[in-house]
Chain A
Amino acid sequence: MPKKQLKRSIKQTKWFKTLTIGMWQDHPTFCVVLGICSMLAITNRLENALAMGIGVTLCTAFSCLFVSFFRNVIPSRVRMLAYMVIISTFVICVDRVLKAYFPPISEEMGPYVGLIITNCILMGRAEAFAIKNGPWLSFLDGLGYGVGYSFMLILMALIREPLGFGTILGYRVMPGAWTNWVILTIAPGAFFLLGVYLWIFRTIAKKTE
């Protein structure tokens, strides 16, 4: 099969569509504006953003997988509680791993690791996709949304850390005479930056309310 045709046939498959929908067309931040609490709070340093992104991606992917496994057993009346239990199990794993191997990051992120449980993206994907679809597709869907979300976290941190602290991953990148824009490291700067990003994206995508 020629390379071009192969590429096209991959693009047509269901799993590819499922994987990519969360990364662009239905991006969790830009389109539905979900799960931004932890995003704004921890993106003042790139390492926190990376830790958070990986944590959220793993939690979303695996909780979708398990919700999908048990979708025929979960009674619909208590399904929210069932999602919560599955999600918090994975969040506990992430929290333990961070505490054991990256204590400084865990210290700095504080309660925000635990708050992955209440990130609307996880619950949203479980309810909207995983409860109706097979395990493999649900896993990909969760993975796609997680990656889309992490991408946004990194985008935020890449602006906030150099301008706010003058560093990237702790290495100094700004010239010595640079005055740190302290406002970008705290809440108001985070709000403004996300507002600007939303403006840019929605203008490009012609997505308005």
Chain B
Amino acid sequence: MNPLTILIASIFTHNIALVYILGMCPFIIISKNYKTAVGMGIAIIFVVTLTAIINWPIYWKVLVPLHSEILAFLIFIIIIAATVQLLEMLIEKFFPPLQSSFGIFLPLITVNCIVLAVCLFMVLRNYNFIQTVCYSFGTSCGWALAIILMAAIKEKLMLVSDIPKGLRGPGITMIIAGLMALAFMGFAGIITLQ
């Protein structure tokens, strides 16, 4: 499949947050503030693309020839944790100004499902290297788009709304996410991904 098609599809028609419902914990907790959401989104784009690029050769060039695909989960998660740790140390050492805006999100990312999900989907769908790069970049952009939109909506909502008490917090976030998912279904006709 054309890598460009995969890129567009993974941002809009197969948005990982609103169609596959992944990465929901930060989606609820971090989406209170627009600025924080942008920081988290950028951190995710960076980490997801990087770990997918590292994990692809490890799965296809090391695990498959050794017939040890059973270890894939374990290896993927260790690599993700190690990459995040490394990135954290590098940022602390070489780009201290970035630390406050970007670094604080890094520890949270290890347990974010979408990092692992991208690695699992890439294996499941037999993507080649170029497709994997496009897919991981597109997916993380899609997630960032969703959380930024959500944060913007919630900031507006805080100012004007009178939400029933029980629905405040996560409840209303779910309802907004549902409406956004409906809106994103409008893109579905553009491209179909198997």
Count B interface residues, CB 8 Å: 46
Smallest beta-carbon distance A53→chain B, Å: 17
Residues on A with beta carbons closer than 8 Å to the beta carbon of B181: 186-188, 191
Contact B124 A195 (CB under 8 A): no
Contact with A along B98-131 (1 / 0, CB 8 A): 0000000000001111011100110010000000
Instruction: Please tell me if A35 contacts chain B, counting CB pairs below 8 Å.
Output: yes
Interface SS of chain B: helix, strand, loop or mixed?
helix
Contact A195 B178 (CB under 8 A): yes
Interface residues of A in 167-191 (CB under 8 A from B): 186-191
Instruction: Please tell me if B89 contacts chain A, counting CB pairs below 8 Å.
Output: no
Please, how many angstroms separate the alpha-carbon atoms of A85 and B77 in the complex?
Answer: 8
Partner of B18, one of A85, A117, A187: A187
Q: Which of A7-15, A90-98, A130-138 lies at the interface?
A: A90-98
A/B interface sample: 10 pairs, CB < 8 A: A80-B110, A88-B77, A187-B178, A191-B175, A195-B167, A195-B171, A199-B164, A202-B166, A202-B167, A208-B165
Interface residue ranges, A against B (CB under 8 Å): 33-38, 40-41, 80-81, 84-85, 88-89, 91-92, 95-96, 110-111, 114-115, 117-120, 123, 186-192, 194-195, 198-203, 208-209
Sorted nearest first, the 10 A-B pairs with minimum C-beta distance are A191-B178, A195-B174, A203-B166, A209-B169, A111-B120, A202-B166, A198-B171, A188-B181, A195-B175, A118-B113
